Chain A
Amino acid sequence: MLDKIRALYASFLIQLKLRSSLSRMVPDLAAAIPTTATWTWLALQSHSKDVLTYIFIGSPLVAVWATAAFIIGWSLRNEKSAMTVPFIIVSRTSMMSVISGKMFAEMLMAIPYGMLGTAVVIAVSRQLPEIANIWLLVPSLLLAVTGLFVLSLLLAPLALAVRGRGGFFNGIIPLGTAMGGFLYPISRLPHAFQIIARFFPMSWAMDSVWQSIRGVDSWGVFFRGWGMSLLLSAIFFLAAWWLFRVVEKQIRVSGSLEN
């Protein structure tokens, strides 16, 4: 167990070093400003503080999802190209520990995005968010982030298992953005898409976030959001664990790193 934690910490540090270069961060930060400003303007037209607060909280999550899903999703393939996968295979370190460490680094790197998103929302709206119950918001948000984490983790072995090529995430990242409930409660989606969205753990957690912002209408609905988010996150985590094992076995049995 200690070895896994050491491996996780090592990959966390490496990813942090790779990602904290300004030349990589500045374009991503710059890209987030126009879209956040647009969403804020739309939220302002609703004349609802709750909606504005929802965008205030959700827009950094969209940026985190888009960046983390893309980078973590390609991480195994990049490890393959950089010829570091053999070392992972030969050692007793699990691939999942390595990728999880990278994911934690991505979460930490999300802080500048969060701060920038906050600044943009405040600059455009000239208002501060209002939250009915911050003590419920924080754990709800943590659950949303957890859902985001496990879904991104699943993408790394998936990309390798299905021999994903360039553009693989062009459909997956918008899917997470649309179905994650980051920018709007799922009830705003067309009915058919609401059903799909309920398979995403973040969508349930964001229901609880919405209730935390507005004030809890129904404790049943609120805790259902927590429960379903935890359940789906656990299922996706197990799926990621299983897929990592499949990929490792694929490499060990074939003896080849080539697709």
Chain B
Amino acid sequence: MKAFWALVNKTGQNFITQAIATYKGLFGWLSVWSFTSVAISAPILNMVVVTSVGSYAFSGEAMKNVAVGVSIGAMNYIIFGGITQSYAYERNLATAQMLFASPANRFLNYMSRSMLHLPNGLLCFAVSLTSAWLIVGLDFGPANWLGMILAAVITALTLTMFAQMLGVFSFITSDWSTYFNPVLNTIGILNGIVLPLVVFPKSIAEIARFVPMTNGVIAIRAAYKGSEMSGIAVPLLREFSNGLLYFLVGYIGFVIFERVAKRQGTLDLDEH
């Protein structure tokens, strides 16, 4: 029993060490100005842009609905950017070879990379929701706060898993910035935050339910309007299961890349 707890303790410490190391060493926005820009300024300004352009189409409760969605959408930039760049920098700074040469548990390593980015996403959500309250005058009277917080946490988890999946792609290509904006903007049009899903054909709307945040947006809007937990359980479960799917695909990609790279003797797979 003692040995078991010693192993758990050591594994936990190892996990925390890796989480801190990958975050501090590979997160390029970890300076006061950069972090404040992306975590505080950008969510506020994004809310300003969306509500100002959105005022062409929405007003009153419809605008508040959009603003609530935008607040949860504020998480995506910092989470995607933070995680995908850390994979790319791992390649560019030549530390990937160290990882592949080490006996480190790959599952723990993969999991640890996203952990400290998750609170960043929640911070952006909080800032964005506050700015929505100030700009469009959100009324939290009937809101189901537990539901809103749960929706935010689960959506943040899904976003980290999706970013991990994309991060593996960054790992392979040593590049994160080229596809970052196209992916982010494509998700932005399909997640129902600004464009309601009803404007799309049914087939596209159903595909959109597999896009990160789509179900989280449905859940948080329902929770804001006061829906009970039973009313938001289904979209939250869908969001969570999407996250598990991204996690699985990403982890398999992570492991396969290492095997292929070792077999070929190089991390630059396009040389073969």
Contact = CB atoms under 8 A, between A and B. Distances in A.
Interface of A: 23-24, 27-28, 30-35, 37-39, 41-46, 48, 51, 162, 164-172, 174-175, 177-178, 183-184, 188-190, 193
A183 B178 CA distance: 25
A167 B31 contact: yes
B42 interface: yes
A23 B178 CA distance: 9
A51 B41 contact: no
B45 A171 contact: yes
List the 9 closest A-B pairs by CB distance, nearest first.
A171-B37, A167-B34, A45-B57, A166-B28, A167-B29, A171-B41, A31-B181, A174-B45, A34-B189
A45 B56 contact: yes
B146 interface: no
Which secondary structure dominates where chain A touches chain B?
helix
A27 B182 contact: yes
B36 interface: yes
Interface string B1-44: 00000000000000000000000000011010111111011100
B26 to A, nearest CB: 11
B51 to A, nearest CB: 8
B195 interface: yes
A46 B57 contact: yes
B105 interface: no
Interface residues of B, number: 38
B186 interface: yes
A32 B48 CA distance: 19
A35 B34 contact: no
Contact of A170 (B37, B184, B188): B37
Contacts of A44: 57
A31 B185 contact: yes
Which secondary structure dominates where chain B touches chain A?
helix
B87 to A, nearest CB: 15
A24 B48 CA distance: 29
Contacts of B56: 42-43, 45-46, 48, 51, 184
Interface of B: 28-29, 31, 33-38, 40-42, 45-46, 48-49, 52-58, 77, 85, 135, 178-179, 181-182, 184-186, 188-189, 194-195, 199
B184 to A, nearest CB: 8
A163 to B, nearest CB: 9
A98 B57 CA distance: 44
Contacts of B184: 31
Contact of A172 (B37, B185, B199): B37
Nearest to B181: A31
A28 B53 contact: no
A125 to B, nearest CB: 12
A44 B230 CA distance: 36
Nearest to B31: A165
B188 A171 contact: no
A24 B46 CA distance: 25
A170 B38 contact: yes
Contacts of B179: 27
Nearest to B66: A42
Most chain B C-beta atoms within 10 Å of own C-beta, residue among A35, A44, A183: A35
Contact of A35 (B29, B178, B185): B185
B57 A42 contact: yes
A34 B185 contact: yes
A188 B52 contact: yes
